[in-house]
Structure 1
Amino acid sequence: MSIRAVDIFCGAGGLTYGLQEAGIDVQAGFDIEPECRHPYVENNADVEFIESDIAADVSVEDIEPYLSAGEADHTLIAGCAPCQPYSKMSNGNKNSADNHEKWGLMEEFSDLIAGVEPDLVTMENVPQVRKHEPYENFQSRLKELGYMIWDGVVDCPKYGVPQQRKRLVLLASKHGHIELQDPTHDPDEVTVKSELERYDLAKLEEGETSDDDFLHTARGLSEKNIKRIRNSEPGGTWEDWPEDLRLNCHTKDSGRKYTASYGRMKWKDPAPTITTRFFNYGSGRFGHPEEDRAITVREGAILQTFPKDYSFVSSEDDLSVQSMGKLIGNAVPVRLAKAIGETLVQHVENEGPQKRLQTATQD
């Protein structure tokens, strides 16, 4: 049973890479960001990258040729609409669809699904999306189109992702009941240590770059931040520091609850959620467990379960740490994507090619 797919909001290709590892034939990825082209095409076999604005430029006619070319038993539209409007980090009025320009992209995504009506749909997003009307509308529309839907909040370490990360996964099928496969890993064994020590990464000082991999670069730290990280215990807080190293906000009630900033990871725990600012020591618990620096772009990518040799830029001259942080932090973790892909492959093998026709006849 073959599945041919397109990836909407494809980013750097984490979802596509995992789906391909599961045996799904992803033909193309669509994204508005030009920085996505190199990692998407360079690391994923036989795919095309289409730089387009999903809200304005992508139509059903743009997608259908990729799903109809050649022979395939089933078709899939996969995607992860931008999650910023739904994130806990968003401070706007979450009940107003006019408050954020990206609120509407979930509607645009459902428009494309309605026009193509693939056999299968999958979407990944932040868990908070469940609380908002655009997601309710998205689900309702899929049901009207005849899809059976499963959605759930996934604890990522149970699927091999070494992060304290929870993500919403939606699966929809025209072939009957579907649900995500059982966990693939023991979460107690999925840690920063288990992942980073799989690779022979060079030890670095702050501000230093590996001779073997320019993405393995530690950002420089101020003299005060060097003192802070040297006074930080793995898993500890700023309360471990001497008084003279603490920030002004730490003396205020509003700042006391932010204990993870300027923190170190623990070897024997999963990492915190890899955000788009993971390379910045002060943005969260992104200090290396034992080296006096923040984690590097390469380490962040590895914790997102990208392969160690995943290429994000063609040369060191093209490297922007901020841009790479955005691509990596926004990516679907590869192992979670693979679990989604394996679920879809097993689903169509179990249900068989005639199920959709039988359902349509009954309707």
Structure 2
Amino acid sequence: MSYELDEIGGDDLSFLRRKSRPEAPKGADPLRLVDLFAGSGGLTLGAMESCRTLGIGLEVRLAMELDEEVRGVYDLNFESLLKDNRADVRSRFDREPGQKLSAAELKTQQEVGKVDILVGGPPCQGHSDLNNHTRRRDKKNELYMVMIRAVEVLKPTYVLIENVQGVRRDHGEVLERATWWLSEKLRYSVEHRLVRMIDIGVPQKRVRHILVAARGRNVEEVLNFSPREPPRTLEWAIADLLEIAPRSPFDIAALLTPENQKRAKYLLENGKYDLPNRLRPPCHRDNPSHRYTAMYGRLKWEEPAHTITTGYGSPGQGRYLHPSKPRTLTPHEAARVQFFPDWFEFGENPSRRLLGHCIGNAVPPKLAFSVLVRLLHKRVASTMPQTPQGEAA
């Protein structure tokens, strides 16, 4: 087998447009997954699709998410065998790496049992370049080390941690400490680097920092993704949704203010993608050297989308105006760009706040798929019977 397993189910576009939920991947010896800081389940979904591609079963032993509503979306889409999962992850992993296991950690270890894959996307706002208040110094940045403590407690075979680029510049050197603990103390092979989403087939200009680790396997080349030329475009992802009937909040764009309606119409009528300063709010207009050219901007059909955040419904928070309609992206369109398939459920009547958090804070499932299919393909290959040299296969 090679690493050329880059399409979910053999066809990414069919995966995204599928309306019916596929059965969970099954196998005689299913892998056991733990997802911390799980959100709506982007990492879990990617893990499931990697197992499906390789013919491996998967079961979710534990998935923890603090936000009750977001956790409800996770529950709609996945089954977690342990239901005490709405508390802070520190209620189960409450000590620092190297310390004696606490009663809560011993209980978790016993309840969860053997773990094959540990994934997580610790809160990234403290590392984000968009955070002008506590960037690099936010106390939540230390939640990254909770993942390392979970590795120490659960001893998974594979580890995948996702975060923003800024984690590399944290003043507490959380990445350096995490890497040292994994490699020097826990004896994992560790690799970390920035991964461009366009290189793994996600149609957005998103860049994320990924750390992978494995016991007994070298992970040196796992994150070495070649540039995808040409990258997938916004048109590839959402062109079929252009005339979809808006029957629910999922397919209705946020209501624009009169000022933003004028801005959106100006861009369309004049064939422009960047709003001129004279039409921007005073905070931009009075500072002609500002660098926020993407804000109030229009997306292009023939390019990948800009990074989807929780603010994808507001033109003042990024380049989120539709290429050919005087509106922002709908939640459905944003979910497609984030690589959530149409069958994924967000609830019967979800609020815009909930949709924003579930979609904008998510890890694109294609990311977990692309990384884990490489890690797990090595496992599958190592367990396949070898044909003696000189004999016919």
Q: What TM-score does the superposition give when structure 2 sets the normalisation length? A: 0.78
Alignment of 1:190 with 2:232, yes or no, is: yes
Residue matched to 1:357: none
1:331 partner letter: A
Q: 2:193·2:223 contact (CA, 8 Å) conserved in 1?
A: no
Alignment of 1:11 with 2:39, yes or no, is: yes
2:337 partner letter: L
* Displacement of 1:151: 1.0
Residue matched to 1:153: 194
Residue matched to 1:236: 273
Residue matched to 2:251: 216
Change (3 A) 1:258 1:331: same
* Displacement of 1:249: 2.2
Q: Distance in 2 between matches of 1:168 and 1:79?
A: 12
Residue matched to 2:118: 77
Q: Choose which of 250, 264, 269 in structure 1 pairs with 2:303.
A: 269
Q: 1:277·1:322 contact (CA, 8 Å) conserved in 2?
A: no
1:225 partner letter: N
Q: 1:55·1:108 contact (CA, 8 Å) conserved in 2?
A: yes
Change (3 A) 1:87 1:62: farther
Q: Distance in 1 between matches of 2:107 and 2:265?
A: 54
Q: 1:15·1:337 contact (CA, 8 Å) conserved in 2?
A: yes
* Displacement of 1:192: 0.5
Q: Distance in 1 between matches of 2:250 and 2:33?
A: 30
Q: 1:261·1:284 contact (CA, 8 Å) conserved in 2?
A: yes
Change (3 A) 1:185 1:196: farther
Matches within 5 A, 1:298-337: 298-313=332-347, 315-316=348-349, 319-337=350-368
Q: Deviations over 1:234-271 (max 9, x none)?
A: 772111x7x4x332123333663211111111001110
Identity of matched residues, %? 29
Q: Distance in 1 between matches of 2:136 and 2:273?
A: 36
Q: Secondary structure at the match of 2:333?
A: helix
Alignment of 1:122 with 2:160, yes or no, is: yes
2:210 partner letter: V
Q: 1:262·1:284 contact (CA, 8 Å) conserved in 2?
A: yes
Change (3 A) 1:77 1:246: closer
Q: 1:41·1:47 contact (CA, 8 Å) conserved in 2?
A: no
Q: Distance in 1 between matches of 2:80 and 2:146?
A: 26
1:162 partner letter: P
Alignment of 1:136 with 2:181, yes or no, is: no
Q: Distance in 1 between matches of 2:332 and 2:262?
A: 24
Residue matched to 2:5: none
Number of corresponding residues:
333
Q: 1:279·1:300 contact (CA, 8 Å) conserved in 2?
A: no
Q: Deviations over 1:189-211 (max 9, x none)?
A: 411000002x445358xxxxx02
Change (3 A) 1:84 1:329: same
Residue matched to 1:111: 149
Alignment of 1:290 with 2:324, yes or no, is: yes
Q: Deviations over 1:48-97 (max 9, x none)?
A: 5511101234543454356537xxxx61211111111111112245454x
**Stretches of structure 2 lacking an aligned partner (at least 5 in a row):** 1-28, 52-57, 94-103, 385-393
Q: 2:109·2:153 contact (CA, 8 Å) conserved in 1?
A: no
**Stretches of structure 1 lacking an aligned partner (at least 5 in a row):** 205-209, 354-363
Q: Secondary structure at the match of 1:256?
A: coil
